[in-house]
Structure 1
Amino acid sequence: MRFLVAQSDPSLGAFLIRGLEADGHEVILAGDGETAVDTFLRETPDLTILDLNLPRRDGADVLSFLRSVTEDAPILILTARSELETRVKCLDMGADDFMPKPFSLLELRARCRALLRRRRDINLLMRQGDLELNRVERTVSRAGVQVALTNKEFALLEYLMLHRGRAVSRSTLLEQVWNMQGMSSTNIVDVYVNYLRRKLDGESDVSLIRTIRGEGYAIGITHSI
């Protein structure tokens, strides 16, 4: 899942990135309100963690703008302003949750999971045949049997599932899953596809992840090489 963290304190921003990335999420940091708005419109994050004390554009104004754009994207307010009036105002403006500072990272992560579970989004639980991928709980099962994946294996499978029925090129996977560009000489995509095949396919002669000649890899396409 892609998270946007709007936080002007670089140290706290780095702390949040480390904590949320440990759950396998992609985290984008915006250090001011204007950047937060631009990033939200460009990246369409699955969840936004928003501070109210932002330079260039106040967090309350950012909240109001984001809610004018979409009603569904979860927004969690994380702020040092703990007054009841501020909390009520933010919730009335459309915030989905409110956490005052100081805060527990463990609780923040749990609240993020709860917000994601409440989303009316069919892509939070994805299925292809007997494969099931839960983007909130970050679990994968095939034929009802849990499959343990590393964070990077999960991210690769998640991206292929989000684009199931279409071939995804190696260069796109390098950019979207590994944040690598211009690295055509690396075989890391092929290596991780093989890891997934060993874990997902078992003794089956037919692989869930297909190789499409001249195009890349795909799930949900019947022809392969």
Structure 2
Amino acid sequence: MSQYHKVISTMRILTVEDEPSISNFIRDGLEEEGFAVDVADNGKKGLQLALDNLEEYDVILLDWMLPGMSGIEICRNIRLENKVVPIIFLTAKDTVDDVVFGLESGANDYIRKPFSFEELLARIRVLMRKNETQSTIFSAGDIVLNIEKHTVTKKENQIELTQKEFSLLEYFLRNKGKVCRRTRIIEEVWDIHFDYDNSVIDVYINSLRKKLDEVGKPSLITTVRGVGYKIDTDE
């Protein structure tokens, strides 16, 4: 695992920015929002981090002008390996031609410096939602969840879940391999954004385990003590 991966979170973002004041501003703000943030201060390091962890990053933030390799070059190299991960350019270049050039290089969005953190956060969340909608089937082991059909099967046998159980399982599967913090689960699955007794999560976790797990075998949903829950990636 990269030395830059410092915190556990449901969502992971790579920031490639050579100006410390800007990268610190982005990292501190995103970590407060519950994201894990990796930072690279030059182009070559940024590309290496990106290629080493492409399946883990939910969004990549790229400065245009970087030492070692430009953001444009990084973006093009990433797109050769991954067509899905959202990429946002952060740059002082602001002509129409610059915007078009950046987007045609493979970026999904473009934010002109200086920018507010609220704008950046909103753009990130929009792209993550768009990226999530591209997948409608999620799986772990013998469990398959189909969003379009609203079904959950185990070894092709359908399992009946309540609406909230289905939403909770979907959230875990969308974040397979990542730790899902209890506070984020309440926000994302229950849409509650204030101090709330999240012990209700335990009730639904126990119910899901009874319906999904096999006697004598490890649970599909693992408890990460003091943090939350996760579904491990398939071996």
Q: TM-score, normalization: structure 1?
A: 0.63
Shift in alpha-carbon separation, 1:216–1:60, aligned structure 2, 3 A = same
Residue by residue, what CA displacement relative to the aligned partner does 1:16-52 show, whole Å, maximum 9, x if unpaired? 0111122211111011111111101112211101001
Shift in alpha-carbon separation, 1:205–1:94, aligned structure 2, 3 A = closer
Q: Which residue of structure 1 lines up, in the alignment, with residue 3 of structure 2?
A: none
* Count of matched residue positions in the alignment of Structure 1 and Structure 2: 169
The CA distance in 2 between the partners of 1:68 and 1:205, in whole Å, is 39
The CA distance in 2 between the partners of 1:216 and 1:149, in whole Å, is 32
Instruction: Give the number of the structure with larger relative contact order, counting CA–CA contacts within 8 Å between residues 6 or more apart.
Output: 2
CA contact 1:74–1:96 (8 Å) conserved in 2: yes
Unaligned segments of structure 2, at least 5 residues: 1-10, 139-144, 153-160, 176-183, 223-235
- 2:38 is aligned, of 28, 34, 37, to 28
Alignment-mate amino acid for residue 96 of structure 1: N
Alignment-mate amino acid for residue 90 of structure 2: L
The reply on whether 1:121 has 2:135 as its aligned counterpart is yes
The CA distance in 2 between the partners of 1:2 and 1:34, in whole Å, is 20
Alignment-mate amino acid for residue 27 of structure 1: V
Alignment-mate amino acid for residue 16 of structure 1: I
The CA distance in 2 between the partners of 1:147 and 1:81, in whole Å, is 38
Alignment-mate amino acid for residue 219 of structure 1: I
Alignment-mate amino acid for residue 64 of structure 1: R
Shift in alpha-carbon separation, 1:113–1:78, aligned structure 2, 3 A = same
CA contact 1:48–1:75 (8 Å) conserved in 2: yes
The CA distance in 2 between the partners of 1:123 and 1:30, in whole Å, is 33
1:61-72 correspondence runs (5 A) = 61-72=73-84
The CA distance in 1 between the partners of 2:214 and 2:38, in whole Å, is 32
The reply on whether 1:9 has 2:19 as its aligned counterpart is yes
The alpha-carbon deviation at position 106 of structure 1 amounts to: 0.3
The CA distance in 2 between the partners of 1:30 and 1:121, in whole Å, is 29
Q: Which residue of structure 1 lines up, in the alignment, with residue 121 of structure 2?
A: 109
Aligned partner of residue 68 in structure 2, secondary structure:
coil
The CA distance in 1 between the partners of 2:206 and 2:103, in whole Å, is 50
Aligned partner of residue 28 in structure 1, secondary structure:
strand
Q: TM-score, normalization: structure 2?
A: 0.60
Aligned partner of residue 132 in structure 1, secondary structure:
helix
Residue by residue, what CA displacement relative to the aligned partner does 1:46-100 show, whole Å, maximum 9, x if unpaired? 1101001111111111111111111111000001111221111011111100011
The CA distance in 2 between the partners of 1:62 and 1:84, in whole Å, is 21
- 1:132 is aligned, of 156, 161, 167, to 167
Alignment-mate amino acid for residue 81 of structure 1: K
1:121-160 correspondence runs (5 A) = 121-122=135-136, 129=161, 130-133=165-168, 134=171, 139-141=187-189, 146=190, 148=192
Q: CA RMSD in A?
A: 3.5
Shift in alpha-carbon separation, 1:43–1:199, aligned structure 2, 3 A = same
The CA distance in 1 between the partners of 2:21 and 2:70, in whole Å, is 20
